Amino acid sequence: MGSTSPAPVLETHELTRKFGELTAVDRLTLSVRPAEVFGLLGPNGAGKTTTLKMLTTLLPPSSGTATVAGYDIVRQPARVRRSIGYVPQLISADAQVSGYENLWVFARLYRIPADERDRRIREALDFMGLSVVADELVKNYSGGMIRRLEIAQTLMHRPRVLFMDEPTVGLDPLARDAVWEQLGRLTTHFGTSVVLTTHYMEEAERLCERLAILHRGRMVALGTPAELKASLGRPGATLEEVFAHYAGAEIETTGSYRETGRTRRVAVRLE
Amino acid sequence: MSLSASSEAAATPGAPGVLDAIEGAIGQTVAIIGHEARKLSHDPSELLLRAVQPALWLVVFGSVFTSIHAIPTGSYSYLQFLTPGILAQSVLFIAIFYGIASIRERELGIITKFLVSPTPRAVLVGGRALSASMRGLSQAVIVVVLATALGVRLNTDPLAIVGIVVAIVLGSALFSTLSMIIASLVKTQERFLGIGQLLTMPLFFASNAIYPLSLMPSWLRPITLANPLTYLVDALRGLMLPGYSGVFPVGVDLAVLFAVTVVLVLAESRLYPRMAQ
């Protein structure tokens, strides 16, 4: 990784997904570098989650191509899955078992060798600051602890790319800061790239090296937070203004009842 | 804490080959069964609640029908004839709502994490189906204990006991996979529960669980023979009752259950990923 421009760890070319008449993601072309934190920014319904679902092999694209860790998402899904981690927006840890047991099942599914399994599980829990509560049932965890556990679940197999959908939705500021800090250490420690979606400007600004702003399925802006702010051509522009400029004044108008319900449910469950 | 950033991804299996794939699939199946076992061990209340229904059937229905001799069951007492039927019914009832777990995990988001892992879809589904048999086997213990307490004489031959376990594992896997298929198709709890209720009673009454096939009207018989529960009941009766000869040989019953289960698991392997789209 010493070279000046390392090969991208993720590349999409004209990636498109249609649902009937609706084009949820429209000819998306972008690339992500190793150890980069890349943000997909956009109002509800902009295509952020659909993009993540395609890149994580959950949803086949309608057209276009993408490679993750060098593997084609359509032709080599099994290899892609071995190289990635995914923390969905909804809760993906199991409340009925302990933190350790939540990791155990994935250590086995990712085929971590038996003699390494326990060490990797403890390491991941330790890394996310959860060693003390490893044997507690997850239903007794706080929202921030659940999120960190969900990230820990994806670390044991050393993913090249970690995908996160709204990683801090529903968290209080303190828990959010903890998640942000661990994410930063992740990229420096493992060289893992992080692709996350968010609609919190503060999160985008603080975490992401580069941002893509999506609007109605299309990428309308791409750059570092500083570049995006400069692109408005007036000094002192904030990221909120950038967002309003590119995504229109639709920040709160497109969320459907269903989406709102989901977001609130997550927020309530994370309490 | 010492995390080695340079350490190679040890999770990556060595030479890709058939043996490696089989070894991986077995390990992953064990992972899913182990995970389900842990969930059950943390909260076994469902298993205990499930004991109520078979108890009522055996104690109330069984005792009454035994004393009035309404149903001819040859040299066996009606209660003896009924016991394997009630066991099969318990296996059906506990498995047919198993898909509710898929719906809950979809509403949460747990399902996506499993689907993003490098686990073949058939292993995800098959592992869940085999996990369901832990619930079925717990029912078997309850029914056998109850029946023995009521004075029912059952086979204690070790080979027969192995056969009973196999039959229950297959029956549980079959009906829980059917349940997961329904869950994948309807996706919401309300519709799922509605269809589950709708299916349970016809499956139960259009079978040989509580009366012999010979008593049935001729129009019902083909339906009964298309009902997988009939083969589970027939197998359990052949295995549990000393000297009983069923409608089919036990081997045929088990083969039918196995074949139907394989077809259902393959079908659900195609449907299951849609739960995360």
Q: What's the rounded mean pLDDT across residues A78-94?
A: 93
Alpha helices by DSSP H, listed for B187-249, are: 189-205, 220-225, 228-240
Tokens of B117: 């892992």
What is the rounded distance in angstroms from the CA atom of residue B177 to the CA atom of residue B182? 9
What is the spatial distance between Cα B11 and Cα A173, in angstroms, rounded to a whole number? Answer: 35
pLDDT at B5: 42
- Which residues of A fall within a CB distance of 8 Å from B3? 123, 127, 189-190
**Which residue carries 């007492």 as its tokens?**
B77
In this predicted structure, the answer to whether residue A249 has a pLDDT above a threshold of 70 is: no
Q: Which fold would CATH assign to domain A10-91+160-269? A: Rossmann fold (3.40.50)
B-contacting residues in A 133-172 (Cβ below 8 Å)? 137, 150, 153, 156-158
Summarised one tens digit per residue, pLDDT across range A230-245 is: 998 888 888 888 888 8
Tell me, what's the pLDDT at A30? 95
Q: What's the pLDDT tens digit per position in B118-132?
A: 999 999 999 999 999
Amino acid letter, residue A41: L
Given an 8 Å threshold on Cβ–Cβ distance, is B113 in contact with A88? yes
Contact check, Cβ <8 Å, B116/A158: no
Mean pLDDT of chain B: 89
The secondary structure of B24-71 as a DSSP string is: HHHHHHHHHHHHHHHHHHH-THHHHHTTHHHHHIIIIIIHHHHHHT-S
pLDDT at residue A237 in the model:
87
Query: What pTM value is reported for the model?
Result: 0.88
Mean pLDDT of A10-39: 95
For residue B44, what is the nearest residue in chain A, using CA coordinates? A96
CB contact under 8 A, B42 and A137: yes
* Predicted complex ipTM exceeds 0.90: no
Lowest mean pLDDT of A36-50, B56-70, B206-220, name the range: B56-70
Cβ atoms < 10 Å from Cβ of B36: 21
Mutation target vs A (from B28, B108, B128, B275; most A CBs, 10 A cutoff): B108
Digit-coded pLDDT (tens) for B6-19: 334 444 445 568 89
Instruction: Flag whether pLDDT at A2 surpasses 50.
Output: no
Highest average pLDDT, of A83-97, A136-150, B163-177, comes from: B163-177
Partner A contacted by B16 (CB < 8 A): no
Q: Is residue B269 less than 8 Å (CB to CB) from chain A?
A: no
Question: What's the rounded Cα separation, in Å, for the pair A229 and A219?
Answer: 16
Report chain B's terminal Cα–Cα distance, integer Å. 38
Q: What pLDDT, on the 0 to 100 scale, is given for residue B11?
A: 44
Compute the Cα dihedral for A90, A92, A95, A98 and give only its sign. negative
The sign one gets for the Cα dihedral B150, B154, B158, B163 is negative
Under an 8 A CB cutoff, do B116 and A84 touch? yes
For residues B218-227, give the mean pLDDT.
92
Q: Give the HSE-up count for residue A204: Cα atoms under 13 Å, Cβ half-sphere.
A: 25
Indicate whether B33 pLDDT > 70: yes
Q: Is the pLDDT reported for residue B4 higher than 80?
A: no
Q: Which of residues 165-194 of A touch B (CB under 8 A)?
A: 189-191
pLDDT, residue A193, reads 95
On the question of pLDDT at A270 being above 50, the answer is yes
CB within 8 Å: B117 and A110: yes
* A vs B: CB pairs below 8 A: 111
Test B110 with A91 for CB contact under 8 angstroms: yes
Nearest to B210 by CA among B62, B76, B98: B62
Q: How far is A96 from chain B (nearest CA, A)?
A: 6
- pLDDT for the residue numbered B51: 84
Mean pLDDT, residues B259-272 taken together: 97
Alpha-carbon distance values, A125 to A113, A131, A211, B28 (Å): 18, 5, 29, 21
Chain A interface, mutation test: which of B100, B104, B117, most A Cβ atoms within 10 Å? B117
DSSP per-residue letters across B199-215: HHHHHHHTTTSSS-GGG
- Spatial distance between the Cα atoms of A145 and A135, rounded to a whole number of angstroms: 13
Q: d(Cα A33, Cα B63) in Å, to the nearest integer?
A: 73
Query: Which chain A residues in 20-79 lie under 8 Å from chain B, judged by CB atoms?
Result: 53, 56-59, 78
User: Of B11, B108, B119, which is closest to A157 when you measure between CB atoms?
Assistant: B11
Average pLDDT over residues A78-83: 95
Tell me whether residues A58 and B116 touch, CB distance under 8 A.
yes
Report the residue from B10, B30, B38 with minimal CB separation from A97. B38
Chain B: closest CA distance from residue A249 (Å): 29
User: A211 pLDDT exceeds 90?
Assistant: yes
CA distance A16 to chain B (A): 15
Query: Considering only CB atoms, which chain A residues are within 8 Å of B39?
Result: 94, 96-97
Contact A100, A130 (CB under 8 A): no
**Inter-chain CB proximity A97 and B39 less than 8 Å:** yes
The DSSP result for A33-85, as a single string, is -TT-EEEEE--TTSSHHHHHHHHTTSS--SEEEEEETTEETTT-HHHHHHHEE
pLDDT by residue (tens digit) across B70-116? 777 888 889 999 999 999 999 999 999 999 999 999 988 899 999 99
Average confidence (pLDDT) over A258-263: 63
For residues A71 and B118, the answer to whether their CB atoms sit within 8 Å is: no
Q: Residue A119 burial (CB < 10 Å; 0-12/13-18/19+)?
A: exposed
Contacts of B107 in chain A (CB under 8 A): 90
What mean pLDDT do residues B227-250 have?
94
Residue A1: what pLDDT?
A: 43
For A200-258, the DSSP string reads -HHHHHHH-SEEEEEETTEEEEEE-HHHHHHHT-STT--HHHHHHHHHTT-TTTS--HH
Of A58-62, B106-110, B120-124, B157-161, least confident by mean pLDDT is B106-110
Kindly report which listed range (A217-221, B61-65, B120-124, B138-142) carries the lowest average pLDDT score.
Answer: B61-65
Q: Which residues of B touch A121 (CB under 8 A)?
A: none
- Chain A residues 221-250 with a CB less than 8 Å from chain B: none
Chain A residues with CB-CB distance to B5 below 8 A:
189-191
Measured distance CA(A55)–CA(A193) in Å, rounded:
13
Are β-strands A210-215 and A37-41 bridged in parallel, bridged antiparallel, or unpaired? parallel
